[in-house]
Structure 1
Amino acid sequence: MSRPEEVIRTPSPSLTPSEQTKKQRRRKALRENLTGYAIISPWLIGFLILIIGPMIVSLYLSFTNYDLLSSPNWIGLQNYVNILTNDPRFIQSLKVTFIFVFVSTPLKLIFALLLAMLFNTGRKGTGLATTIYYIPSIIGGSVAIAVVWKQMFGRSGAINELVTSLGFTGVNWIGNPDTALSVLILLVVWQFGSPMIIFLAGLRQIPMDLYEAASVDGANAITKFFKITLPMLTPVIFFNLIMQTIGGFMTFTQSYLITGGGPMDSTLFYAVYLYEVAFQYLRMGYASAMAWILLVVIGIITLILFKSSKYWVYYESEGGR
């Protein structure tokens, strides 16, 4: 009886020291990546479930007729067509929101920069003053402040009492279409604490050597501001501009609680109209389409700001632009 042939196995070549080192590095990198994903997993899961998931559902609903009480009925682009061609209140809300954003955002940034420069002097008490001026940014968007603001600018409010005591006739600030939006703009501008803190941090990063050299050359305070402070702050200005613009388009509380979008839709912010369509008229498909239009509008404006930044934003690491 013949013996079966033995299978001859060739031993695998051993890894060289450099290959072993590379393998160990890959394993270490994999462990570090897995550790990082494990740490951020709560945020990542929340992001997928609470943001990406609802966005996908909202995108689907924007192509349907859905009233929360029955199943969604697919209607294609009809919601978008109706919004853009047959909804005058949509046009009004977009107009009011654009006016609000393009007036309140520059004013807020100007006041924030002025206060930041004032508090950057290093004088005694500036820390406490900075904290006090930051408080409106914390509480300014609350329901309580909106109610107080409504009472202040009401027919018999504190503002009219002050105006009357000076010998002038009181104005129905909130009930007048010509002044109602100004009241809301003033409230938002009052909340300049957040960009002020960011400006203050940016001012403290500007090298003092630049100011000393400018003083030696005989530059005055105005020249230093426009030739040193403003160019060096342009990255911070750009950041604040982006954040405040996006936040302005999503403003809701002030208009909804103080004026309710009135009078005569003069303060009908886009977010307020979207809320009315969704939760008062139960047109969730239509409201979803409005939300996606707002996203596109914000995206376009943000893209324009980013494209324009190369002409006016100065980055010291890149030698300026």
Structure 2
Amino acid sequence: MQLDQPTLLEAYRRMKLIREFEETVHTRFEQGDIPGFVHLYAGQEAGAVGVCLHLDDDDYIGSTHRGHGHCIAKGCDVEGMMKEIFGRAGGLCGGKGGSMHIADIDKGMLGANAIVGGNPPLVVGAALTIKTKALAKVAVSFTGDGASNQGTTFEAMNLAVVLGLPAIFVFENNGYGEGTGVSYAVGADSIAERAAGFGLHARTVDGRDFFAVFEAAREAIERARAGGGPSAIEIRCMRQYGHFIGDPQAYRSKAELDQCRADDPLTIFRQRVEGEARLEAAELDKIDADCRNLVAAAVEAARNAPPPAPAELLTDVYVSY
């Protein structure tokens, strides 16, 4: 599928915004501005953007503890995200959820989830709602290679097949579940082939290549919208940082980290679109500057925002039906 210029520009804008956001959060966390625990998505941008460019606000996604990239790719407000991560009033969850629990129902973002394998059952529930109401929508579960081993994930995939739900299971295989290598922890060479065993349409794509992810997602999402049932996509990618900020990464060699930086999906995207004369370097450079300014403004807004009021402590704990 040949993408037009506005789509290419938007793809790069979202990927660059994720990268700028993550690099800034990394710096601010190390400076002591951000409480809690933070897991960065840098290096995996082509995955979230390649999938979410096909979605609108009425489609659903479920995310992981490494969820900033999914939020931005789905269109969540960057200032609201930054306030949430800083633990300030005005954050997307009132400043009470932090990095691992960002949600924005208005954008179809069901929430980041600190429980490994926690979001596939939630996404299946959303997909069941879509089918029950006969909507031409989809629900997408983003999980890592670690969650591919969880019983919750197996049950969710099986139920999606049995009920013929419009669910897409995206496995971002970055090679590590925390610090444990996928070759040790996953008892199969291919996560996609394992998913196919549940009856899913499944394929594996190169997560460095936005265009490969975009095409695989297009096929799966179009099939789901048309009533063709669930799919699985294994995206093989590399995270540029450790499991969390501060992870010494003793389990990774310097050569591997250098290769990860060399295989940067943003660089690969730029080289392709510039080389094919589909976009000009000046257009992409302007996006770089715009993203830097947007994230800088979000940081200032977060730093100047007050913390949640003490009266908010016990709100949003239970939902009354």
User: Normalising by the residue count of structure 2, what TM-score does the alignment of the two structures yield?
Assistant: 0.25
Bigger Cα Rg: 1
Greater helix proportion: 1
RCO comparison, higher one (Cα < 8 Å, 6+) = 1
